[in-house]
Structure 1
Amino acid sequence: MTVEDILARLVAVPSVVGRPNAAIVECVADLLAGTGARVAVLPGPEGDRANLFATLGPADRPGLILSGHTDVVPAGEPDWRSDPFHLTVEGDRLVGRGTSDMKGFLAAALAAFRALAGRTLQKPIHLAFSYDEEAGCRGVPHMIARLPELCAKPEAAVIGEPSGLVPILGHKGKAAARIAVQGRSGHSSRPDLALNAVHAMTEVLAVALASEAVCKVGPLDADFAPPWSTVQIGIVAGGEALNVIPATCRAELEARAVPGVSPAALLEPVRAALSGLEARGFATAWEWIADYPGLALPREAGIARCLAALTGQAPIAAVSYGTEAGLFQAAGIDAIVCGPGDIARAHKANEYIERAELEAARVLIERLCLDFAT
């Protein structure tokens, strides 16, 4: 089975974020059959989703993790030229949802695992395939928490987000929250008899804007654009008619933090302001959507030097998007981002990976595993 065959099987499973994922987990387990890998399916607290962790080699020694997520974003864009869940060949392009983000990497890692079958490995190679990364890295923390029962603490993790196979050393962390204010409706001519939820929400959002201004003072990191942490309000909704005092208002906001700064901590003043409304008769709600730390891997780290040598590419200091890598680093595992494809193609109609990119990823991962484990 070629790496393209593997990718075709993965793309054919519509493993959309936030939905039950037994089908993609079973697909991956089936592709590992016959390799000798020890496969652990790790259900998450949702009950209908699971991570998958697989190992080749001696699990009691520090090993290498190849990490990726099995979920993809929905494919509802109207301008797809083909079925997004059927791998379609268009010249040198392999088109389908998830080909770049990030089933191309999963296919290359699985092909490498199959190639390693039967070899004597001095160190283990692990696959760590998570769920609901696209919803804010929700699945992988549960898998990381179970690593001590699955293997010795790994030396390093390669997170295969699309980077054009250029190693990436850093990214910002992110926290996001969904908030709501419940007041009391009434006629706009008698605001004294009502509680205007939109007015109350503006007070909370003003605190978010003030937090954004404070972030520009520092800490600063010149590897990022912008070099400061950010707070952004993305959604605000409330009200029914101009002459009706709105009883409800909701908002969604996020913080993106340079490494060393807690993104959740940046939103704490907003949370405090929201809670403060309750003393005035409002009901409030706060729901975390995402919370993961930034990544900052030293250039001299072993996995960085190894990938620089294998790819012939100097590592990039930082990128603007976030990944699961920061969570692995927070667990004490050196983590780096390096995968095939282009992030600019992700989350769009006619997403694709080039055949040459997919094959280059297969070769790179196989060489990396052999260098590391034999």
Structure 2
Amino acid sequence: MDVFDILDRLVAFPSVAGKPNGDIADWIEAYLAQQGAKVTRLPGPEGDRSNLFATIGPADVPGYILSGHMDVVPAAEPQWSSSPFAMRQEGERLYGRGTTDMKGFLAAALAAVPILAGRRLAKPIHLAFSYDEEIGCRGVPHLIARLPELCARPLGVIVGEPSGLRAVRGHKGKAAARVVIKGRSGHSSRPDLGLNAIHAMADILSAAVRETERLTHGPFDPAFEPAYSSLQAGVISGGQSVNIIPDSSTLDLEARAVPGVDPAGLLAPVKAKAEALAAQGYVVEWTPVSAYPALSLHQDAPVAALLGELTGETPLAAVSYGTEAGLYQAAGLDAIICGPGDIARAHKPDEYILASELIGCQRMIEALGMHCAA
């Protein structure tokens, strides 16, 4: 199978984040085993989805991890020109959910496996494919925890998120949370007998807006746009009718932090404001939704120099989106982003990747194999 056949098969699995992923994991596992790779399936605590870890070459020697996620975001938008889970080609463009984010990278890595397996690798190349990245990088921590028993300490991790095949050394960290305020309902003509959850939520929203403004004053990191950490209220809901005192209101928040700043800590003032409402009789529920740390790889890191050689371009300092790379770095491993496609095409109808981008990525991975065979 070539890279296009593999991508076609991968796109056909509707592996939406938060859902069972047995079908796609089964297919990838069988393909890798067929190519002679040593494959380990790593079931997650959810019981219906798994990570996969495969090794080509000697597992007891330090090598490199190619990291990607098998899940995709939903594809319910009506603007799709064709079925999102049936790959469609028009010229150079290959359409389908996940083609860019990030089954294109998975396909390129899998297509390179027969070439890698045919070489006598002195240093191994590992494939680490995770689940539920799109809903907060929930799967990969379980995989990272198992690495010491799966392989020698890696020399570096290449996370294949779409970057135009330009290596990237940094991204912001993120934390998201949901706050639910429960008050007491009643007729709007007697507000004195109820507890208006929307009015209470207004205090929390105001606290979030104040924090948003405060963060614009730094600390700063010029590698990013914007150069400071940020916080936003993304979704708010509550109430039934204008003449009913709303007894519940929900707010979803996220913070994105420059390296050196704890993203969860940015939400702390808002959380404190919410919890203070309990003294007024409200019931407050604060639920962390997702979190991952920032990535900040030093420009002199060996894996950065290696990716510069493999791509022919100096790695970029940073991008605005987040990846699993920060979690690998938090575990003590040098991690860098480099994958095919453009992030601007992701998470929207008619997502696509270029055939040339797939081929370019496969060639980069095969060049990594030559480096590991030397």
The answer for the alignment partner of 2:315 in structure 1 is 315
Taking the aligned partners of 1:11 and 1:238, their CA distance within structure 2 comes to: 37
Deviation at 1:61, TM superposition (A): 2.1
1:86-235 equivalences in 2 (<5 Å): 86-235=86-235
Secondary structure at the counterpart of residue 4 of structure 1: helix
The answer for the alignment partner of 1:2 in structure 2 is 2
Secondary structure at the counterpart of residue 33 of structure 1: helix
The answer for the alignment partner of 1:356 in structure 2 is 356
- Matched residue type, 1:300: D
| Contact 2:119/2:373, CA 8 A, preserved across alignment | no
Taking the aligned partners of 2:74 and 2:195, their CA distance within structure 1 comes to: 38
1:295-314 equivalences in 2 (<5 Å): 295-314=295-314
Deviation at 1:22, TM superposition (A): 0.3
Deviation at 1:332, TM superposition (A): 0.8
Deviation at 1:48, TM superposition (A): 0.9
- Matched residue type, 1:247: D
Q: List alignment gaps of at least 5 residues for structure 1.
A: none
1:12-51 equivalences in 2 (<5 Å): 12-51=12-51
Taking the aligned partners of 1:289 and 1:255, their CA distance within structure 2 comes to: 12
- Matched residue type, 2:208: A
Taking the aligned partners of 2:180 and 2:124, their CA distance within structure 1 comes to: 47
- Matched residue type, 1:249: S
| Contact 1:125/1:373, CA 8 A, preserved across alignment | no
Taking the aligned partners of 2:251 and 2:372, their CA distance within structure 1 comes to: 47
Cα deviation digits, residues 151-199 of structure 1 (max 9, x gap) = 1221110010111101111111110011100010112222221111111
Taking the aligned partners of 2:235 and 2:107, their CA distance within structure 1 comes to: 36
Moved over 4 A (4+): none
The answer for the alignment partner of 2:284 in structure 1 is 284
Taking the aligned partners of 2:2 and 2:112, their CA distance within structure 1 comes to: 10
The answer for the alignment partner of 2:269 in structure 1 is 269
Secondary structure at the counterpart of residue 198 of structure 1: helix
Provide the identity percentage. Answer: 60
Cα deviation digits, residues 256-288 of structure 1 (max 9, x gap) = 000111101111121122222122211111121
Query: Is residue 74 from structure 1 mapped to residue 74 from structure 2 by the alignment?
Result: yes
| Contact 1:11/1:96, CA 8 A, preserved across alignment | yes
Deviation at 1:102, TM superposition (A): 0.6
Deviation at 1:120, TM superposition (A): 2.1
Taking the aligned partners of 2:344 and 2:45, their CA distance within structure 1 comes to: 32
- TM-score of the pair, normalised by structure 1: 0.97
Deviation at 1:76, TM superposition (A): 1.6
Taking the aligned partners of 1:369 and 1:278, their CA distance within structure 2 comes to: 59
| Contact 1:53/1:129, CA 8 A, preserved across alignment | yes
- Matched residue type, 1:301: A
Deviation at 1:92, TM superposition (A): 1.5
| Contact 2:33/2:39, CA 8 A, preserved across alignment | no
- TM-score of the pair, normalised by structure 2: 0.97
| Contact 1:35/1:118, CA 8 A, preserved across alignment | no
| Contact 1:36/1:118, CA 8 A, preserved across alignment | no
| Contact 1:32/1:114, CA 8 A, preserved across alignment | no
Taking the aligned partners of 1:158 and 1:39, their CA distance within structure 2 comes to: 19
Deviation at 1:210, TM superposition (A): 2.1
Taking the aligned partners of 2:266 and 2:289, their CA distance within structure 1 comes to: 15
Secondary structure at the counterpart of residue 217 of structure 1: coil
Secondary structure at the counterpart of residue 164 of structure 2: coil
Deviation at 1:304, TM superposition (A): 1.0
| Contact 2:187/2:243, CA 8 A, preserved across alignment | yes
- Matched residue type, 2:312: G
- Matched residue type, 2:113: F
| Contact 2:121/2:372, CA 8 A, preserved across alignment | no
Query: Is residue 294 from structure 1 mapped to residue 294 from structure 2 by the alignment?
Result: yes
Taking the aligned partners of 1:373 and 1:62, their CA distance within structure 2 comes to: 13
Taking the aligned partners of 2:91 and 2:118, their CA distance within structure 1 comes to: 35
Taking the aligned partners of 2:295 and 2:341, their CA distance within structure 1 comes to: 21
- Matched residue type, 2:355: R
Secondary structure at the counterpart of residue 166 of structure 1: coil
Taking the aligned partners of 2:34 and 2:74, their CA distance within structure 1 comes to: 32
Secondary structure at the counterpart of residue 34 of structure 2: coil
Secondary structure at the counterpart of residue 117 of structure 1: helix
- Matched residue type, 1:227: A
- Matched residue type, 1:27: W
Deviation at 1:373, TM superposition (A): 4.5
Taking the aligned partners of 2:44 and 2:270, their CA distance within structure 1 comes to: 30
Q: List alignment gaps of at least 5 residues for structure 2.
A: none
Taking the aligned partners of 2:180 and 2:141, their CA distance within structure 1 comes to: 26
Taking the aligned partners of 1:293 and 1:369, their CA distance within structure 2 comes to: 29
Secondary structure at the counterpart of residue 273 of structure 1: helix
Deviation at 1:369, TM superposition (A): 2.6
| Contact 1:171/1:295, CA 8 A, preserved across alignment | yes
Secondary structure at the counterpart of residue 129 of structure 2: strand
The alignment of Structure 1 onto Structure 2 pairs a total of residues equal to: 374
